[in-house]
Structure formats: C-alpha cells, structure tokens
C-alpha cells in the first residue's frame, strides 16, 4: 500500500524528534543564569569588560544567532520559563497570580525531578510578594536609585501558591536566595536557575555593569562551571533582551560536559532554549516551545 506524502512527512518529523532526543546527554545538573539588557555584540569578543564570559565561550559552545522574543524584560523571562508571556506585556507585577499554566518548574516536580530558582538579594526564602529592593547612591551629579532585587526577573514567583496548590503551581521552597546555592555542586537540583541582582546582571547603571556581572560569574559560579565539565553537568548563560539598539540578538553560552565546542550558527530563540531544557529532562514541551525544535549542534552526539 502506498504511503501518502503527508504521512511520510509526519514519519520523518517523528523520527527526527526521536533522533534529537537520543543524542542528548543525561545530565545530573543543569544551571541556567539569565543576564540583562545587552546585545551579543557587546559580549562576544569584549575581552576587556567580559574576559571570563569570553573564556567560557572559547571553552564551550556559543550561539551566534540567538534572539530574545520581545521587550521589555519580564515577558522574556516568562517565555523562557513557560513558553508564553502569560498575557504580561510590561515589567509591572502581574495582578492575576498565581498562574496555573504549564511551566518548567512544575513539569520537573511532576516528573519526580527537582527545581530551584536562586535569586540574589531575594529578601527571604519563598518571598513571592516583594516587588523589589532599592539601592541609592550619591554621585557627583546627584542621587541615583535602582532596584537591586527585582521580582520581574524571577518568573517562578508568579506560579507560587500555598497548599492546597492547584495544578502547575509551585511551593515556596523552589524560591530561594542565592545565598542558599549549595557549596557542594552535587547537592544542586536537577535544574536550577540563578538570577543575579541588578548590581550583577549587566542591568544598565553606571557603565561598569558588564565587568561587575563578569566578575560575579567568575567568583560565584566559576567553581560550579569547572566542576560541571568533569561531573556530567551543564552551565548555560543567556540574556533576557538587548538594549533596544538592535534586533534583540543576545549572547548564549554553554559550558560543561558533553559539548561540541565552538560557534553554533543556527537561528534560535528563548523558546528553543526552553525546548532544549525540557528535552534534556525528558519532559513534554511547554507552551510555544512545542512549536520549535531544541537547539542542535551543541552536544557531542548531535546528528
């Protein structure tokens, strides 16, 4: 019996998806860091301000054609965590929380895996209410103030709910300050996000933000990154968006074990990154990440 071209195409797609999953490493730990508001052109090759990031680029895999989804910041964090903006279009605190839609954290917990988000300067573990904490500094031109901890960068707070928790909501235990990041990397959850505060995430402040963020990564996460290379684990650093100056092209670097090192020329977005995370953990794709493939060409067994 002849097979229709449509059924043949579906079979090819199914086979390709299986082949892509089969090529993936089975990591013990994955740590994702999200930086702020700089285009890829200000990171790649900028060895003066970002020497450590460029060392990671040279010893890992890096995406030359990676894009954020939109502007401003908060919707991009939501896209990365849940595959959708959840109706959010600004950086204002959503009013219809907790969300009960699928998300990476809930999918991991439902599969018997572990997830924790570590946010630098989070006032207290489990705090889903504080919108931000502020720092004020007197410069020669006068006082300047900015948010240090920023809830808009911590997407899992929007799904946090007390018991009894509706489906897809999260316990407060997943929402931890960065001070709780384990000294022993073997104690990390299956997937962790790290959100530096706005003193250390490249958020525009005084022109030294790239260097401060680079130093933070080296000093506070360098030990994990070195450990990951020899202990079946992965580190990913990406950005939420550019600074509105270009086409929303952002840097993304993978470091750790089982990588095909060097430049990756594929065209990817934060949805592809979310799809990569769910495929790595054997989870069903989430939100609009179901409409894209995972990032290919970065793992050593990729076809």
Amino acid 10: pLDDT: 47
Residue 7: which pLDDT band, with cuts at 50, 70 and 90?
low
| Domains held by the chain: number | 1
Domain limits at 266?
Answer: 27-291
Q: What is the mean pLDDT of the segment spanning 220-233?
A: 98
Query: In this prediction, what percent of the chain has a pLDDT beyond 90?
Result: 86
Residue 298 lies in a domain: no
CATH code, domain carrying 285? 3.40.720.10
Amino acid 12: pLDDT: 47
pTM across the whole model: 0.93
Do the beta carbons of residue 72 and residue 90 sit within 8 Å? yes
Residue 3: which pLDDT band, with cuts at 50, 70 and 90?
low
- Nearest CA to 107 out of 290, 255, 295 is that of 290
pLDDT tens digit sequence for 124-170: 999 999 999 988 877 777 777 779 999 999 999 999 999 999 999 99
CA distance 242 to 194: 19
Residue 59 lies in a domain: yes
Residue 299 lies in a domain: no
- Nearest CA to 188 out of 26, 25, 27, 29 is that of 29
pLDDT tens digit sequence for 67-76: 999 999 999 9
Residue 229 lies in a domain: yes
Residue 4 lies in a domain: no
Residue 236 lies in a domain: yes
As given in the structure block, the two tokens for residue 106 are 């809930």
List all residues 6 or more positions away from 81 whose beta carbon is below 8 Å from its beta carbon. 103, 104, 105, 155, 156, 193, 274
């Amino acid at each position: 019996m002849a097979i229709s071209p449509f059924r043949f195409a579906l079979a090819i797609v199914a086979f390709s998806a299986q082949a892509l999953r089969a090529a993936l490493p089975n990591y013990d730990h994955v740590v994702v860091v999200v930086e702020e508001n700089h285009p890829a052109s200000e990171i790649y090759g900028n060895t003066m301000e970002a020497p450590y990031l460029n060392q990671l680029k040279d010893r890992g895999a890096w995406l030359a054609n990676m894009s954020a989804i939109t502007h401003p910041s908060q919707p991009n964090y939501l896209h990365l965590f849940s595959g959708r903006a959840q109706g959010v279009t600004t950086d204002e605190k959503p009013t219809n929380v907790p969300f009960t839609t699928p998300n990476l954290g809930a999918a991991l917990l439902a599969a018997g895996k572990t997830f924790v988000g570590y946010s630098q300067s989070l006032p207290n573990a489990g705090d889903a209410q504080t919108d931000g904490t502020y720092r004020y500094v007197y410069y020669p031109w006068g006082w300047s103030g900015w948010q240090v901890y920023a809830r808009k960068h911590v997407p899992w707070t929007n799904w946090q709910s007390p018991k009894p928790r509706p489906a897809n909501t999260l316990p407060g235990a997943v929402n931890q300050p960065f001070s709780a990041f384990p000294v022993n990397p073997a104690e990390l959850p299956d997937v962790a996000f790290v959100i530096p505060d706005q003193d250390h995430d490249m958020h525009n402040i005084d022109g030294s933000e790239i260097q401060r963020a680079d130093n933070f990564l080296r000093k506070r996460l360098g030990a994990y990154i070195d450990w990951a290379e020899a202990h079946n684990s992965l580190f990913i650093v990406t950005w939420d968006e550019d600074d509105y100056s270009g086409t929303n092209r952002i840097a993304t670097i993978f470091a750790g074990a089982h990588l095909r090192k060097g430049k990756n020329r594929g065209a990817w977005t934060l949805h592809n990154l979310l799809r990569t995370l769910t495929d790595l953990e054997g989870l069903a794709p989430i939100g609009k990440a179901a409409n894209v493939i995972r990032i290919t060409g970065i793992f050593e067994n990729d076809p």
